[in-house]
Structure 1
Amino acid sequence: MSEAASAKAWNFLGSYPPGVRFDMPLPAGPVQDILSRTARDHPDRVALEFNGAAISYGELQALVLKAATGFRALGVGPGVHVGLYLPNCPHYVIAFFGVLTAGGTVVNYSPLDAARVLEHKVEDSETDILVTLDLKLLYPQMAALLGRTRLKRLVVGNLGDFSPEPETVAAFLKAAGQTADVPDDDRHLPFRRLLDNAGNLVPHAVPDPAATIAVLQYTGGTTGLPKGAMLSHGNLTAAQAQLLELCSGDAPLFEIGAERILAVLPLFHIYALSVNMLLGIAIAARLVLQPKFEAEAALQTLTAARITFFPGVPTMYAGLLNHPAMARADLTSLKFCGTGGAPLPVELADRFQRLTGCRLTEGWGMTETTATGTFTPARGPVKPGSCGVPVPHARLKFVDVADPGREVGFGERGELCIAGPNVMKGYWKKPAANAEAFTADGYFRTGDVAWMDGDGYVHIVDRTKDMILCGGFNVYPRVIEEVIYEHPAIAEVTVIGIHDDYRGQAPKAFVTLKPGAETVTLAAMQDFLKSRLGKHEMIAALEVRAELPKTPVGKLSKKELVEEEEARRHP
């Protein structure tokens, strides 16, 4: 890149709100310092709200110290990996900070993982102890791995553990057939018994937070089995601080101790862990925990709890907008709604702002970048189709997809590469994958095709692996998806490439319809698209479905659709 182009690449600094610093100081301590500092300064503020029960920051810190003491008695310390197989509930937050305070490493597990993926993660991550609940949806999956994998012990909680009447809640869940029978033996420990101590453990010192792994966060596994991204204490604290800085400056968005966050994104996902939990705790917010997204329940919570901050993904906002109660819901308390994890359709963002008065701003990040990378400044302009400007301390460059050693010109499309304190240490036990994932000068290759405009705003075009090669043209599914979202009948859309004898590949769209909408034919959709897309981008097939596959965090997923199409070709 020329010196002039390099200078242009730093134009994003002019898009920062006044007072926001690119080179702001980074936190020096471990992740658990975020909670201990807030508990010290705001002990009486409510930290967690769950099923009508509230836990203050002072109480939360005391519970974490008890959990850490209990974990240490189980042998948890440096080098010991503890799995968390939990929905959004107090157990997750307590166990997460408890493991780190004891000196261990957290391994996040998704309750939606298939059995073979769970077994792979246990063996690959070297998980010896795992925390879960006695729900039939969770406990049996991990109980099946005891004895035939390296998993040695389960710490098992109940959803009623932190309610005013835990025995009553446990009995109700049992009578409803929702909980499993858990043996009383040396391989099982009730979560409440883990906490049955004085909590007098001296927290483990972390001499080098930037190098010490805090979390093994497995990637989505869009191809093959998932890989574990090694996220250090420094990665996690930097990510939280980067986001907070962009929301600060001369006119801070957040009021310390006054915010209410709807935490319905699963905390086992890096986006929610960084944004909902770590950022939320850093600003002494009230985290209203919900285990699962359902549009009606979310709307009720948004209004009744007077939520001010709602981080979500596009499918969640689409679900809210398509709910009949959305038009009359009082959402005037909302001051900030951020979205990430998947591209944000422009039409969806516009509808949300018209209905709520709160703008929906987009950011970009990955598991490997601790969920941060770019972010639309809270007080800055919103550019349709952009995911914002680089976060503080993040260094971006764009390289030729076919030749990653060559940077493309400023404003040209290329593979987005990133370096900074939020970028992972590498993949766990995967030296070959690490060699491919990083450039010679240490930038992580994201696999996203993107470009930067003159104001420093980044525009993600698509994933390199999702690109459709159509008669010699590169066709980007996101371009087609954005236009299909403009159709008044469409609720959700996913576009993939399917085999075409003449062109090699052709685009196929899978859609769901808005409530009450009439079905859409291929011919009608092609007629709608013909003035909006190039001929090479025109869809060759359309399939209307009741629902589309999604990832555990609620992102639309192409993987299952690609596999279905391949199975049709090769039955």
Structure 2
Amino acid sequence: MFEQAAAPDPASRPASWPVSWEVARPRLITELLDGAARAHPGRLAIDFYGRTWTYGDLADMVQRAARGLQDRGLRPGDRFGLCLPNCPAFVVLYFAALRVGAIVVNFNPLYTERELEHQIRDSGTRMIAVPDVAMIHDKVEAVAARSGIDTIVLCEMRGMLPRLMGLGFALFKRAEHATITDPALHLRLRDLLAAPPSPHPVDQSPDDVAVLQYTGGTTGVPKGAMLTHANLTANSAQMVRHVEGLLPDRCRVLGVLPMFHVFALTTVLNFSVETATEMVLLPRFEMAQVLKTMKRKPPTQFFGVPTIYVAINELPDDRVPDLSTVRSCISGGAPLPLEVRERFEARTGCQVVEGYGLSESSPIIACNPFDGRLKANSCGPAFPGTVLEIRDPADPTRLLPQGERGEVWARGPQVMKGYWQREDDTRAVLMDGALRTGDIGYLDEDGYLFLVDRIKDVILCGGYNVYPRVIEEATYQHPAIKEAVAIGVTDKYRGQAPKLFVALHEPGAVSVEDLRAFLAERLSKIELPKDIEVRDSLPKTMIGKLSKKELVEEEARKNTA
């Protein structure tokens, strides 16, 4: 699977750090499923609330759905949208669309009509899959005609659920059922699956775009990162190498992170299929259901974002899950505070390591090892086959020496082809064969990456750079703090000043005055927040990451009021 590639001269790249220069042979994503189905046709592939499908079942459904999509007119290069929560239909249609040479476009089911319409138009999506759930389907149908959609593939929940649950959904959840106003626009998944398992062969290359993964990127409006088959299969192979020796004969992943997000697309879907892992899928994070599912199907692999680990930390002692079967546990999507990691490990006995990546890199470019060589607040060394560089943000041609802070750049087979129909944006982030991440960080003497902050989040205080992450990490050291977000706000004297928002484990657990005194011992005067605001909870993104955007917008409105 692996071939040897030449490493750059370390002397010429003082702040570069290559790790394991073996890289995966470029492959099509469908090769992952072909291999799993051929080697393990009887192994469980999907568990959805207790209803299961084997890899043989999955391969057959993909073949049928692929032929059905071809018969409906889906052609190589067409964009096929997935606006689905985690469910069997997502997996089937993902591989089916790729089988016929189409490009998958991931849509967040919680998008507003405006967001849906923008992404449909920008990507040129003409077919889109949705569940027969009103809160998702009805928005898509409302914008379909004016945005260019000619087919909505309707995925019926009853057909995916165990018999009694499906019957309950049909009889007792009528208020949640989709309202179909244009039947001619719709194609039911069950009709696709009635097609023969014989799709027409198409010419494909691993360099073809497989997925448009929309992201805010390092600048501006959401844009589609063009991830090729080779990009995504490389990141999956890098995962295999990273967890080498930790995979039991039979693996099982709890898939609660949404697969429309690139972190789960790689770790829950592609990597699981490559390793013939059983995917226990849940459509959303609900703690009671997660705990019940963990007990019913103990996972060997668990992937989460920091807010999931915070939520588990908040559980009473008698509800903390037994994670003794977990062999690899990774946190991604956002920085994992040291205090959160240590508390999670102490309560569960399960080691969690932090990784780092971007949508533009499929996504993982760095991750801590599982052999105990962890460093506090580091996201680890470069992923196998990846080179990390630290460059001067003001002069990108200048590589910085080890230990000096600068912009993180990444090279590797997982780096995207570019942004969809945005040449200027592509040129701005892909330079000299590397990806500019927009993050500030440094590499230590062992090649471990330490992130300081996003370039765009840096607070400019009277000529000094203040990094919100430094403030947040200091805040998390207080035992009363559950969540913390620091942003820059307008200051007449210094231009900007830091403001801190916190949520507490228990109401009233610490006063603003006491928290300010606590921080004064850990931060410089320029870093000390001008204001501290306590809230019941802090805003989060669709996948549960803490979000600064809403807080920045609130403060901006205050200044214009």
TM bucket by the smaller chain? over 0.9
CA deviation after TM superposition for structure 1 residue 323, in Å: 1.9
Give the CA deviation at 1:168. 4.8
Q: For 1:406, what is the secondary structure of its paired residue?
A: strand
SS of residue paired to 2:502? strand
Following TM superposition, by how much is the alpha carbon of 1:158 offset from its aligned partner in structure 2, in angstroms?
Answer: 1.5
Amino acid at match of 1:348: V
State yes or no: 1:500 paired with 2:491. Answer: yes
- Residue 510 of structure 1 is matched in structure 2 by 501
Determine if contact 1:160/1:166 at 8 Å carries over to the other structure: no
Deviations 1:157-216 (A, max 9, x none): 12121335389537536644111232573210111111111211144342x21x200001
Classify the secondary structure of the residue corresponding to 1:338. strand
Residue among 235, 239, 245 paired with 2:235:
239
C-alpha offsets along residues 545-564 of structure 1, whole Å, 9 cap, x if unaligned?
12211111111110111000
Query: Would you say the 8 A contact 1:34–1:281 is kept in 2?
Result: yes
* 1:242 partner letter: Q
Question: What do the CA deviations read for 1:369-388 (whole angstroms, capped 9, x no partner)?
Answer: 00110111222511111111
**Unpaired segments ≥5 residues, structure 1:** 14-21
AA of the residue aligned to 1:464: I
C-alpha distance in 1 between matches for 2:514 and 2:324: 39
Kindly report which structure 2 residues correspond to 1:189-204, keeping only aligned pairs within 5 A, or say none: 189-204=187-202
Is the deviation greater in 277-286 or in 232-241?
277-286
| SS of residue matched to 2:254 | strand
CA contact 1:242–1:392 (8 Å) conserved in 2: yes
Residue 434 (structure 2) pairs with residue 436 (structure 1)? no
**8 Å contact from structure 2 (residues 243, 328) kept in 1:** no
Percentage identity across paired residues of the two chains: 41
Confirm whether residue 72 of structure 1 aligns to residue 73 of structure 2. Answer: no
2:292 to 286, 300, 314: 300
Give 1:351's match in structure 2, choosing from 343, 359, 368: 343
- TM-score where L is the length of structure 1: 0.93
| Separation in structure 1 between the aligned mates of residue 223 and residue 147 of structure 2, nearest angstrom | 18
* Equivalent of 2:479 in 475, 484, 488: 488
- Please say if residues 477 and 495 of structure 1, whose CA atoms lie closer than 8 Å, have aligned partners that are also in contact: yes
- 1:134 touches 1:182 (CA, 8 Å); kept in 2? no
Whole-Å Cα distance in 1 between the matches of residues 43 and 416 of structure 2? Answer: 33
More strand by share: 2
Residue of structure 1 in register with 2:98 after alignment: 100
Q: Which amino acid aligns with 1:122?
A: I
1:409-428 alpha-carbon deviations (Å, 9 max, x no partner)? 22211100112110000000
Match of 2:399 among 397, 404, 407: 407
Letter in 1 for 2:279: L
Give the count of matched residue pairs: 554
Which ranges of structure 2 fall in alignment gaps of 5 or more residues?
1-7
User: What letter is aligned with 1:481?
Assistant: E
CA distance in 2, matches of 1:82, 1:506: 45
Structure 1 position 300, deviation (Å): 2.6
Question: Residue by residue, what CA displacement relative to the aligned partner does 1:18-38 show, whole Å, maximum 9, x if unpaired?
Answer: xxxx13341332001101100
Residue correspondence of structure 1 range 145-544 to structure 2 within 5 A = 145-165=143-163, 168-169=166-167, 172=170, 175-183=173-181, 185-206=183-204, 208-209=205-206, 211-220=207-216, 224-248=220-244, 252-256=245-249, 258-325=250-317, 328-439=320-431, 441-514=432-505, 516-544=506-534
Query: SS of the residue aligned with 2:470?
Result: helix
Instruction: Name the SS of the counterpart of 1:48 in structure 2.
Output: strand
Aligned letter for 2:484?
A: V
What is the CA distance between 1:149 and its match in structure 2? 1.5
Q: Helix, strand or coil for the counterpart of 1:230?
A: strand
In structure 2, relative to structure 1, the CA distance for the partners of 1:386 and 1:12 (3 Å cut) is farther
CA contact (8 A) 1:12 1:457 kept: no
What's the counterpart of residue 16 of structure 1?
none
2-structure distance, mates of 1:537, 1:171:
53
Q: Distance in 2 between matches of 1:559 and 1:199?
A: 46
RMSD over aligned Cα, in angstroms?
Answer: 2.0
Matched residue SS, 1:449:
strand
The corresponding residue for 1:18 is none
Letter in 1 for 2:508: E
Of residues 128-137 and 293-302 in structure 1, the stretch that sits farther from structure 2 once superposed is 293-302
Shift of 1:302: 2.3
1:282, CA displacement in angstroms?
Answer: 1.2
TM-score by length of structure 2 reads 0.95
What is the DSSP-based 3-state SS (H/G/I as helix, E as strand, rest coil) of the residue aligned with 1:141?
A: helix
